Amino acid sequence: STIVLLFEAPKDFTFNLKAGQKIRYGEPLGTM
Amino acid sequence: RNPASLGLQARVRPLPILIATGSGYMGYDQYGRYKDRELESKGIEVPPRIANEAQVALYKTIPTRLLSRAWGRLNQVDLPTWLRKPIYSLYIWTFGVNMKEAAVEDLHQYRNLGEFFRRKLKPQARPVCDSHCVISPADGKILHFGRVKNCEVEQVKGVTYSLETFLGPHTWAESIALNRNEDDPTNFQDILVTKEGNALFHCVVYLAPGDYHCFHSPTDWRVAHRRHFPGSLMSVNPGVARWIKELFCHNERVVLSGEWAHGFFSLTAVGATNVGSIRIYFDKELRTNLPRYSKGSFNDFSYVSNNNQEGISMRKGEHLGEFNLG
């Protein structure tokens, strides 16, 4: 199964992620 | 040369032809993948091999919804106590489940695999990050993320799907009462962005079979609308996501949309073959993976009503829903 988040945010929003990395519920996805 | 042996010969003859063509095709396909790996090892970027329409149509002929419901029925059968530990231990070993984080570690407590699949975690197992406004809603693997461009969303690098097909027509705005920016929006993506200086972002989290399969609110927001798309239940593992374009638009999914501090926000749970059912805890009406549905249909439900103009308020990290087997 998959969860897709789609949202608007200020243009300076940046993800601190890498494609393929493991992630756990509660960990941050990005910063403004 | 009696009729029986002729009949047998007639049946047997196509078999070697099928095997020969099938293995010939597999060999050709594997050789192509080998060539791609060669090029990638030389640093040459190779576009992903996308399934053509015939291959997708062939895949969609597999009765994945029927298989999924049968799998779910099987996993609702209570196991005898003595069989629980060996079965669940095999599942734990196969999919690398970490039972130390489970709220209930004793395997005998789970009456069937469906219940084991819905296991909860110890509250302290997943501290919710306070210093960031958006957190991961679930355990899993980040398939892709980034800004949405030209109304196309990438399911994995280089393989996209249409934003409008995925979310459906923008008729939920009334229930969110989004105060959109004045100038007339040029396309679907612009309609979703309600504030000047904002952009649209996406993030795809893939939950593997051994992952904790409940999901939580990724931020503080209010959920105003639910759109349920019945659909296929093809596998969504990264290999298939790289192979089938628009995969997430084919599969059964539940789109929750609403608003957060910066405007539009949505979370979509996409089902898969072994995980055909989606539950949203505050939505008792929702029924997924039903035997009958009309292709391409969807049904809407608004959480905004006369006595609840706000919709459903969700706090960051709050329990939101779960995927179920079958």
pLDDT tens for the 326 residues of chain B, in order: 577 776 666 666 777 887 888 788 778 777 877 887 788 788 777 777 788 888 888 888 888 888 989 999 999 999 999 999 999 999 999 999 999 999 999 999 999 999 999 999 999 999 999 999 999 999 999 999 999 998 888 888 888 899 999 999 987 765 555 545 444 555 888 889 989 999 999 999 999 999 999 999 999 999 999 999 999 899 888 888 888 888 899 999 999 999 999 999 999 999 999 888 999 999 999 999 988 888 789 999 999 987 777 899 999 999 999 999 98
pLDDT at B182 (0 to 100)? 45
ipTM of this predicted structure: 0.98
| Minimal CA separation from B178 to chain A, in Å | 12
| Minimal CA separation from A1 to chain B, in Å | 5
CB contact under 8 A, B266 and A29: no
CB contact under 8 A, B138 and A3: yes
Q: What is the DSSP string of B56-68?
A: HHHHHTS-HHHHH
- Does residue B153 sit at the A interface (CB-CB below 8 Å)? yes
Collect all residues of chain B within an 8 Å Cβ-Cβ radius of residue A2: 143, 204-207, 236, 241, 248, 269-270, 272
Cβ B143 vs Cβ B156: under 8 Å:
yes
- Does residue B102 sit at the A interface (CB-CB below 8 Å)? no
| Minimal CA separation from B162 to chain A, in Å | 13
Q: Which of residues 55-84 of B touch A (CB under 8 A)?
A: none
CB contact under 8 A, B205 and A2: yes
- Classify residue B127 by its DSSP letter: P
pLDDT at B23 (0 to 100)? 82
CB contact under 8 A, A29 and B218: yes
| Minimal CA separation from B40 to chain A, in Å | 17
pLDDT at B51 (0 to 100)? 83
For B269, which residue in chain A has the nearest alpha carbon?
A3
Cα–Cα distance for residue pair B151/B143, rounded to 1 Å: 19
- Does residue A14 sit at the B interface (CB-CB below 8 Å)? no
Contacts of B119 (CB under 8 A, 6+ apart): B102, B103, B104, B110, B212
Q: What is the DSSP string of B168-192?
A: --S-THHHHT----SSPP-SHHHHH
CB contact under 8 A, B135 and A4: no
CB contact under 8 A, A4 and B148: no
What residues does B299 pair with on adjacent strands? B228
For A30, which residue in chain B has the nearest alpha carbon?
B134
Q: Which value, in Å, is the radius of gyration of the alpha carbons in chain B?
A: 23
